[in-house]
Structure 1
Amino acid sequence: SVMSETPMIEKVRELAVIAGKEIASIYRGNVWTVTSKADESPITQADLRANELIVAGLKKFSNDPIVSEEGDVLLKAPSSRFWLVDPLDGTRDFVNRMDTFVVCIALIENGEPILGVIYAPISEELYSAEKGKGAIGPEGKLIFNRNTRTELAAAGSRSTPSDRMKALYEQFGITSIERFGSALKFCKVASGDFDVYPRFGPTKEWDTAAGQIIAEEAGCKVVDMSTGERLLYGKPNLDNRGFVCCRNDLDVAEQIYRFNVERLKNQP
């Protein structure tokens, strides 16, 4: 019998790990390529090298276009099916010697992420998901957020929360907040470490796509704050507005709507 083809998600997981190992070795200062220009910082080097490995790897088994943070500026999605790659998400974490930076790879089809992989090179935690097939976390275990608690734990960005974010925390009944960079926050909501991850600031589609499918396959949702609907892909300039990633049972759209109404009322 013919050996069955390796499932695509396996190949993508492998690529994320290969790129991650390269990043880890630059992060730890073990690698300094001869070709590197004097002005090329380790972060730049790690970003570019990981990107090269991922793009070359994807091209071996896929003809779909690849949109990368490191690539050319695109005003729109290249086609109805394309890859979104962020070779090193959480650059500030890398620079500040925090280990939460990740590699993100996602496949988009007709505006939605259908496959996603996130790998944290230092903790060697690998997360992945495929539409309709569940989300897999470290050690190959299925992950699912089964929390029912009403006192919510939030994952927040590294920057100090704005007044608007503090007000949102209050609206949601968020009692504890842990702040760290990168799309690892989606994975930690998916696994149940947190209940909610709100983000006001603009992000790019490659920042959220892999995290979204992992969260969605683990009993969570990612809601666009401006529409109250699921976050979609292939938007102009591949820009996201604010979003909330949270458990499926939390009525985010309603909360956001109420929150925005309150804010408008309170404006002078």
Structure 2
Amino acid sequence: MNKLNDRVSTVLLTTALYIVAIIYLFPILWLLLSTLKPGSDLFSYPLSIIPENPTLENYSYSWSTMDFMKYFLNTLLVAVLTTILTIIASATCGYALAKYKYKWLSVFFICILATTMLPTEVIMNPTFSVILDLGLYDSLSGLIIPSINTATGIFMFRQYFMTVPDDLLEAARIDGGNEGRIFFTLMLPIAKPVVITLAIFSFQWRWNDYIWPLIVLSDPDKYTVQIALRSIVGADNIDWVLLLSSSVISLVPMLLIFIVFQRYIMDTGATSGLKG
């Protein structure tokens, strides 16, 4: 009886999993198949998912129409620099919060966590005012600097460093290591799972960021990919062929990132809870 119940539960859970997967994958599949249709077939009635005359000309049209290399380089520069600076800032702050014994650090940590309760729209106005005063408006630096510190990254590093025994730090200090050397040669390598996880998250956040670049940038030569895609949408009409195929092209870098770092993601998930 128990085996029958287990089998029924497994079948039901597996079926539910397939249904959820189909719900998530169906819009993506429709997008991909729509990019293979000629423009005249996109809104033909009745609507069809499978293109009758599939073609790749839409992608060549998008690549020749959109200056993708310029937008890719702008977005890549912002995403990479922000990710590197975010990891360094979050790791150093998390290390201090985890290993330095000062009462005011606990209050500081609570204030950092409190920022996660604020909607992004609330802090945009003061952040934009600071960017204007610093002369960083309409520059890639205006995108990078406000995005460096994240409460999520600080929290991740702080919680990870809390699991590192204090005896390890004391032994390193007795051996003559200063705080900077201990951090960069000992603590940061130990936190490799968190570094990889935060790097992937940060890169994804910056690559897909839309609202902040829309506010800060006005020069088309400095547009990121997401702002460039938005510029396709006109006031009176939309070039759907260009928009759909360009959207798929913009997903390629993130797909490559996942393929390259998939093994590290799996290793992070499997070993992040294991401490030797």
TM-score of the aligned structures, taking structure 2 as reference length: 0.24
More helix by share: 2
- Please tell me whether Structure 1 or Structure 2 has the larger radius of gyration of its CA atoms: 2
TM-score of the aligned structures, taking structure 1 as reference length: 0.24
Of the two structures, which has the highest relative contact order with CA contacts closer than 8 Å and spacing of 6 or more?
A: 2
